[in-house]
Amino acid sequence: MSAASPDADAGSPVPTEITLDRKRHILALAYADARYELPFEFLRVYSPSAEVRGHGPGQEVLQVGKRNVDITELEPVGMYAVRPTFSDGHNTGLFSWDYLRKLCVERDALWQNYLNRLDRAGGSRD
Per-residue confidence (pLDDT) for residue 57, from 0 to 100 = 84
For 64-110, how does the pLDDT look when each residue is reduced to its tens digit (9 = 90+)? Answer: 999 999 999 999 999 999 999 999 999 999 999 999 999 999 999 99
Segment 35-53 mean pLDDT: 96
Q: What percent of the chain has pLDDT over 70?
A: 91
What pLDDT does 55 receive? 86
Residues 6+ apart with CB under 8 A from 57: none
Write the class of the CATH domain 17-121: alpha beta
Q: What is the pLDDT of residue 10?
A: 52
pTM comes to 0.89
How far CA 14 is from CA of 1, 55, 79, in Å, comes to: 16, 27, 9
Render pLDDT for 56-66 as a digit per residue (tens, 0 to 9).
888 899 999 99
| Residue with the larger pLDDT of the pair 3 and 107 | 107
Domain layout of the chain by residue ranges: 17-121
- Interatomic CA distance for residues 98 and 81, integer angstroms: 9
